[in-house]
Structure 1
Amino acid sequence: MASPEQVRDPDGAGVARFLAPLQGGGVVLGAILFSLSLTPSLVPREPMVQGLLGGLVFSVGYATWFGLVTLFRWLGVRPLPADARRIVMRVCLGLTGLGTAICLWRSADWQDSVRAAWGLPPTDTGAPLIVLALAAAIFVVLLFFGRSFQLLASDGSRRGRRFLPPRVANLLGGLAALAIFWAVVDGVGMRYALRAIDNASQLADAIVAPDLARPGDPLKSGSAASLVGWEDLGRWGRDFVSSGPEAAEIGAFWNAPAKEPIRVYVGLNAAETPEARARLAFDELLRVGGFERRTLVIAMPTGSGWLDPGAMDSLDYITRGDVATVSVQYSYLSSPVSVIVDPEHGLAEAQALFDLVYRHWTGLPADARPGLYLHGLSLGAFLSQETVPLLDVLGDPFQGAMWTGSPFLSGFWNMVVTRRQPDSPAWQPRFGNGSLIRTANQDARFARFDADWGPMRLVFLQYGSDPIVFFDWSLAWRAPDWLTGPRAPDVSPKMRWVPVVTLLQVGVDMAVALGTLGHGHDYVARHYIPAWAATLAPEGWDAATEARLVEHLRDLVPR
């Protein structure tokens, strides 16, 4: 058994450790990273967002220093003499304080460089006091949890030293504290937080807007003749089937007769299982004659079930209304939350719906069936891509797909970027000879390729400033390809890669990537239009018609 001297914690414990002063080296490293976090990233940051990011980054720096000190102490590395350490620390703190003040002063200019790339007016001020106050508050909260963990690990280590060697006891005490914290955060905190988010999203999904009447047209999902109840469409399903251009509006644009677009949607409450919801959507599609249209689109919505009007309305116009779109809701949660919780949650719905539609479609005569296309935005793009069995459909390929804002977890999108032609940038990769896959951003230049389109057209639309597309864990240790060479037109020329900091910057960017149409993760009709045209190859389409439709849908904004 260990002696009382061995059991005693040499670093102190309890309240004294919990209230110990900050380590100067940790403050220096945290302040350096905080200053670097003020530099521009993909999305312009408001002071509150910058303060949150700054607090996180400062905490990472402080925790890194604390870990290094703990490691060196465990290895027996002798520190500098007290007098020398005190002088060095004062110099470092002074220089760091000066550097932080300069970076705060320049932060508004850095953010304006992003805003200029997005065509936004400059900010009035970087609001340094708000940034500092919020960053300090975030750090204090995280420090509380960090010292609580330290206290718990120290207590476990002190108990273990009665029976074990000190280093073994320290290791086991740390592992025990980690297990307890993980159980509390993941098993309690995350569970209740996600349950609260899910319940709130479910309630919002069930609300029927008072100005939204049940459709009287029997060809509309949710009508009295529909296989799907009006309430079972969900919030975004009701909005989807009730909105969009009517045949008269489309005909007026083309100055020719047009058809009423068919929109089929099945909400999450319509059936118990993903397979049942997919079957219900397929049966509804059959009921309304979706396979009798010239164009048939399987569209996967975002995590909440939303379909972008910019994509859907432009599709209806380009096809002159001779189109049927079918979609199934798989979640109430927004795409960013769904990506964190379970990004493959909607895969069963996407796969079942594709299999049902494709199997029926291949059974129709080749000269009497619609052109079959896929579509998805954000998480919906990922799920749509995951359902494409390219090798299985080569014998009877569908006509194409238009995927927008493919998230970073998409293996298909990452393959296109990784295997792109060497002379093409990562933000607009050129894949192969362009006969199968083409990509574009706001410029929407799909014609610059070596070969004509083949029997299948796969089109990717993504903005160079979309953090949901270009986030990657390797940002912590490696500069991304999209920051080397020529940059996307809406990426700040002042953005620089910084280890760890850029990872956190782009991670925070994902949470604030919406709000400015035409940039970030907020896609707009004027960019959907050329992407759909490249996918569908509509008859009689030319630059003048494209410009006319862009102007016609100029005021269309997401609902």
Structure 2
Amino acid sequence: MKQRLIQYKDSFSFIGLMVAALFFAASVTPSLLPRTYLVQGILSGFALAIGYCVGVVLVWIYQFFGFREPGGRTQTIAKRITAGAVAVLFVGFVWRMTYWQNSIRDLMGVDDLETTYPYRTAIIAVLLGAILVTLARLLVAASGWLADRLDRFFPRRVAITIGFIIVGAVVLFLSNDLVAKNLLSAADSFFAKLDERSDDDVEPPTDDAKTGSEASLVNWDSIGRQGKNFLALGPTEAEITNFIGEEAQRPIRVYAGVRSRPTMQGRAKLAVDELKRVGGFDRSVLIVATPTGTGWLDPSAVDTVEYLHGGDTAIVSIQYSYLPSWITILVDPQRSIDSARALFDEVYGHWKTLPKDDRPRLYLQGLSLGSLGSEESADLLTIFEDPIDGALWSGPPFPSKQWNSVVRNRNPDSPAWLPTFRDGRLLRFTAQENSLQPEKEWGPMRDVYIQYSSDPMVWFSPSLAWNRPAWLTDPPGPDVSPHLRWYPIITFLQIGFDLPMATTVPIGHGHNYAPSSYIDGWVAVTQPEYGSPKQVEKLKEIFRLKVAPKP
């Protein structure tokens, strides 16, 4: 038994282990968000496994091209020097873990950590890395076994290639058709049940003029949890009246859930019919809002615009999913686009038939996956003859084509995390601090993107694995650690692990957008009646108190 363990230990590649150690060291450097030791351990475990595989592949390539390996004493000395240098680097990086994590926490107003528990991180990483490497070695062994059986029919290298292809195809089939589908099915079932629940403080409306009432075209029970919250928990007439100092109107909100109608087109038509019933097209401002993956509409986005316009608003939305955005965006981001297009086409189709001097100003709004769908809903060729009035998008996710195009073609003197685009008459960007330049003249349509430099939903991209991102500038964004560096493969892993935690950070950072950012955006886009500098500061203070952490 002891002899077998020694043989197993000796079977590992020295170069593979050294590269694995380097990958581990790089993985503990800061990314966009703070990490717990558990998340860090899992991340570093994947880094270890990938690093080992990279090292083995490098050795294989070296040997494939026939380069000679140093032997005897020269090889021993080279290994000792390499191991010593890697050990020093490894220890140095691990020693800096707490400092690096606190460099992010300081920027986000989070209490510093006394320790990041490097021993716990290392134990989790080594265990997970060993499991992953063992699985990889088993797959290689299976490929070799299959190649041995194919030797009698094909040349050796052809047999090895076929063996790898067959094993790879089986693994892909098992991971996609069994593991991934079952995991997705379990997530779908869990979030579907969660969507059917109602929060304790949410009751069906008794006012017939509200969506979900007995007189409504939309059945209350068909609306998901987030849709019910949207319909029931907005600002009241009294709250808006208190803000503007005069009689306010009751804001109109319309929402159709995934169970309201079986198809997106059906839900869109139902929502617009309900919008007509409750008088949404008679308001001064009409907003087509695309929700996130769970059907959630950010109160910081929708509540603020209702205050700014004294309640003279109508907001309409339909649900397309109940999965979190970070899952939906990886599985089927097209859902948000198709849903947003269906709703916009229905709204726009009726809106453009109304007299131009007696119809609401029409705007688009979306956060996260909602931003992705919303920005593609209003096809330019469709609205060219009769344009809408503008849009406010926040946290545009990385697959967003329009956003990507604008950032890529930004003015060269502006950073990717806060770009300027041409003369700014059509489109502007802002972040935590208002960067919308109110003194500059706008065109007839006003579009604004809100994006934070620490938002992984915005900055994640597959190209991070091999390409240094444009957003990693010197100086970095205001809430990005100055110690963040790009490492091939590692940075891709780090930002990927940031995605599920994007909303766990304090408001005003990551994917957690602050009311003040929306207020600045809505003032710029909609030019509200109640948007004077004094009123804006008053409204920001109201929402500051609403979102302040409880003592």
Give, in whole Å, the separation in 2 of the partners of 1:524 and 1:537. Answer: 20
Secondary structure of the 1:401 match is strand
Q: What's the offset of the Cα at 1:422?
A: 1.1
Alpha-carbon displacement from aligned partner over 1:202-257 (angstroms, at most 9, x marks no partner) = 01101133442211011222111111111111110111101011111100111101
- Could you tell me how far apart the structure 2 residues matched to 1:34 and 1:306 are? 37
Aligned to 1:209: 199
The answer for the alignment partner of 2:350 in structure 1 is: 360
2:181 aligns with one of 170, 191, 212: 191
Q: Do structure 1's residue 343 and structure 2's residue 357 form an aligned pair? A: no
Q: CA deviation at 1:83?
A: 4.1
Gaps of 5+ in 2: none
How far off its partner does 1:147 sit? 1.6
> What residue number does 1:518 align with?
508
Displacement of 1:110 after TM fit? 0.9
**Residue 292 (str. 1) matches residue 282 (str. 2):** yes
Q: Is the 8 A contact 2:15 2:59 kept in 1?
A: no
The structure 2 residue matched to 1:392, chosen from 379, 382, 396, is: 382
State the shift of 1:69 in Å.
2.2
Q: Equivalent of 1:379, from 356, 360, 369?
A: 369
Instruction: Call closer, same or farther: CA 1:487–1:71 in 2, change over 3 Å.
Output: closer
Structure 2 CA distance for aligned equivalents of residues 286 and 203 of structure 1: 31
1:497 and 2:486 aligned: yes
**Is 1:427 matched up with 2:417?**
yes
Correspondence for 2:38: 48
Q: Distance in 1 between the 2:375 and 2:29 partners?
A: 35
Residue 172 of structure 2 corresponds to which residue in structure 1?
Answer: 182
Asked if 2 retains the 8 angstrom alpha-carbon contact of 1:270 and 1:277, the reply is: yes
Secondary structure of 1:264's aligned partner: strand
Contact in 2 for aligned 1:295/1:323 (Cα 8 Å) = yes
Report the CA distance between 1:120 and its aligned residue.
2.2
Which residue is equivalent to 2:434?
444
Q: Which runs of 5+ in 1 are unaligned?
A: 1-13
Shift of 1:82: 4.7
Q: What residue is the counterpart of 1:10 in the other structure? A: none
> What is the TM-score of this pair, normalised by structure 2?
0.95
Match of 1:70 among 60, 73, 77: 60
Cα distance in 2 for partners of 1:356, 1:68 equals 56
The residue aligned with 1:481 is: 470
Q: Which moved more, 1:171-180 or 1:479-488?
A: 479-488
Indicate how the Cα distance of structure 1 residues 359 and 106 shifts in structure 2: closer, same or farther if over 3 A, else same.
same
Q: Is 1:61 aligned to 2:17, yes or no?
A: no
Q: Secondary structure at the match of 2:96?
A: helix
Aligned to 1:11: none
Q: How many residues align?
A: 545
Given that 1:525 and 1:556 are in contact with CA atoms closer than 8 Å, whether structure 2 keeps it comes out as no
1:465 paired with 2:454, answer: yes
Structure 1 match to 2:134: 144
SS at the partner of 1:271?
coil
2:360 and 2:455 map into 1 onto residues whose CA distance is: 33
Q: 1:167 aligns with which of 151, 157, 164?
A: 157
Cα RMSD of the aligned pairs, angstroms, is 1.9
Secondary structure of 2:391's partner?
strand
The answer (yes or no) to whether the contact 1:310–1:525 under 8 Å persists in 2 is yes
Aligned partner of residue 228 in structure 1, secondary structure: coil
Summarize the Cα distance change of 1:71–1:363 in structure 2 as closer, same or farther, 3 Å threshold. same
**Amino acid in structure 1 at the alignment position of 2:347:** V
Tell me the secondary structure at the aligned position of residue 374 of structure 1.
strand
Question: How far apart are residue 356 of structure 1 and its match?
Answer: 0.8
Alignment deviations for residues 274-306 of structure 1 (CA, whole Å, 9 cap, x no partner): 111111111111111110111100000001111
**Residue 96 (structure 1) aligns with:** 86
Question: CA deviation digits over 1:124-164, x for unaligned, max 9?
Answer: 11210111011112202211321221122112111110211
Q: 1:163 to 1:410 in 2, by over 3 A?
A: same
Find the aligned partners of 2:261 and 2:349 in 1 and give their Cα distance: 22
The residue type paired with residue 58 of structure 2 is L
| Amino acid in the other structure paired with 1:216 | T
Among 426, 439, 444, the alignment partner of 1:455 is 444
Question: CA-to-partner distance for each residue in 1:439-471, whole Å, 9 max, x for gaps?
Answer: 10001221167x511111001001011111112
The within-5 A match list for 1:305-344 is 305-344=295-334
Shift of 1:15: 11
On the 8 A contact 2:52/2:133 being kept in 1, the answer is no
Q: What is the CA–CA distance in structure 2 between the aligned matches of 1:19 and 1:196, rounded to whole Å?
A: 38
Q: State the one-letter code of the partner of 1:517.
A: I
